[in-house]
Amino acid sequence: MRERSFAMVRHGVWILLVVLTSVSWGGDAARKGTTGADQLLIPVGARSIATGGAFLATAQGVEAIYYNPAGLAASYKSEAMFSYMSYIADINVAYFATAVYVEELGTFALSYKTLDFGDIPITTFENPDGTGSTYSPGFFTLGLSYARAITDRVTAGTTVKLVQESIMSTSATGVAVDFGVQYKFQRNLALGVTIKNVGSNMKYTGADLLTRTNVPGTASNSPTGVYSPDTEAFQIPSYFELSASYTAELDNMNSLMLGTTFRNNNALEDQVMLGLEYQLFKTLSLRGGYERATENAESAIYGFNFGAGVEYAMESGLQMSVDYAFRTVKEFPSDNHIFTLKIGF
């Protein structure tokens, strides 16, 4: 009993140190526009988007990779997931992840998120209406995750991500790391803590930045010089999150889950997310969520989120779930629609 109590105190102190270190970064709205790689802020998974990203304390399986990698260790099973979202400005987001549970070792996972911008016309000074050719930027995030149950109440996980952005022959590459912890106070009450996108600065380089110019002080027919501008490095959007959730078991077949998450950004206003999920007959789930900035609610472009999902267990042992989410967008003509398929085995 004494060893168990000491272990719980040790984990509690570790979580507290993480919180204090992260809060010291502070949210700073004055630094808006100073970070890049905003693809890291695009959420995935219909269930979590429908609930506003509020369930970091109880997220489980492959969908937990983006929100709290500690949730990988909470499911004790292998899974695969595919999610597709019609985002904003005709941008589509595809996400694939697979996780393998290895007994006594933990859970390992691989994830991949990519953005589809469509075909964009190439314009030049000589052809401002287009040259007839097109290009498509390539933005993707590749992640490798590991999570493990430390005790019967504490799980911890981490994700190492390769972030790549390319526009024709110009690109920027960075590395980011996520850390997460989930702690169950009791059966129905849980706490989650995460630190997201701690990593290197990124900087654009490439052949498309090369510029030809006449060498100063020489005749007009002299060979031209080639130079490349020194682009400025930019930070990635890091943040800290603290989440709590409570599950009310209405009876043996129905339950109501409530969750909230506080996000402390390094270059945006802080945010608060609220979410709920009502599960009927352990099969059908109805969801809702809302996210807003703590300082300036008008700065948020997203409003209310809604969604539903169906889970089905096959006789072969496979578990399948299909989820849908709808997220309202204030500043764009189209809202977000998200579809997710998950298979557990």
Q: Residue 318 sits in a domain of what CATH number?
A: 2.40.160.60
Least confident of 55-69, 96-110, 123-137, 215-229: 215-229
C-beta of residue 13 within 8 angstroms of C-beta of residue 245: no
164 vs 125, more confident: 164
Q: How far apart are CA 64 and CA 180, in angstroms?
A: 10
Residue 215 pLDDT class (50, 70, 90 cuts): low
Residue 4 pLDDT class (50, 70, 90 cuts): low
Percent of the chain with pLDDT over 90: 57
C-beta of residue 278 within 8 angstroms of C-beta of residue 286: yes
pLDDT at 130: 83
C-beta of residue 87 within 8 angstroms of C-beta of residue 338: no
Maximum mean pLDDT: which of 10-14, 92-96, 119-123:
92-96
Q: Where are the alpha helices (DSSP H) in 32-191?
A: 46-50, 64-67
Identify whether 228 is part of a domain. Answer: no
Q: What is the dihedral of CA 40, 42, 45, 51, to 10 degrees?
A: 120
Least confident of 11-15, 108-112, 218-222, 338-342: 11-15
pLDDT at 232: 87
Q: How far apart are CA 67 and CA 241, in angstroms?
A: 9
Cα distances (angstroms) measured from residue 328 to each of 16, 50, 197, 285 = 35, 11, 26, 20
For strand 211-214 and strand 239-249, is the pairing parallel, antiparallel, or unpaired? unpaired
Average pLDDT value for the chain: 86
Identify whether 339 is part of a domain. Answer: yes
Identify whether 220 is part of a domain. Answer: no
Residue 9 pLDDT class (50, 70, 90 cuts): very low
State which amino acid sits at residue 145: S
Structure-block tokens of residue 146: 């590991």
CB 304: neighbour CB atoms within 10 A?
Answer: 12
Host domain of residue 17 = 2-201+236-344
13 vs 286, more confident: 286
Least confident of 2-6, 108-112, 265-269, 279-283: 2-6
Name the one residue in this structure whose structure tokens are 């110019």: 213
Residue 72 pLDDT class (50, 70, 90 cuts): very high
pLDDT at 17: 45
Beta bridge partners of 284: 280, 310
pTM of the model: 0.86
265 vs 175, more confident: 175
Residue 14 has pLDDT above 80, yes or no: no
CB-based contacts of 217: which residues, under 8 Å, 6+ apart? Answer: none
Q: How far apart are CA 191 and CA 193, in angstroms?
A: 7
DSSP classification of residue 45: -
Q: How far apart are CA 182 and CA 155, in angstroms?
A: 5
Residue 13 pLDDT class (50, 70, 90 cuts): very low
pLDDT at 240: 93
Residue 15 has pLDDT above 70, yes or no: no
177 vs 282, more confident: 177
Name the one residue in this structure whose structure tokens are 């697979």: 98
Name the one residue in this structure whose structure tokens are 């390319």: 166
7 vs 320, more confident: 320
Domain count, the chain: 1
Percent of the chain with pLDDT over 70: 86
Identify whether 241 is part of a domain. Answer: yes
In the chain, what's the furthest Cα-to-Cα distance? 88
CB 12: neighbour CB atoms within 10 A?
Answer: 12
Cα distances (angstroms) measured from residue 133 to each of 120, 136, 330 = 8, 11, 33
pLDDT at 298: 64
Identify whether 212 is part of a domain. Answer: no
Identify whether 266 is part of a domain. Answer: yes
Q: How far apart are CA 158 and CA 201, in angstroms?
A: 20
Identify whether 317 is part of a domain. Answer: yes
Q: Give the torsion sign (CA, 200, 201, 204, 206).
A: negative
Identify whether 219 is part of a domain. Answer: no
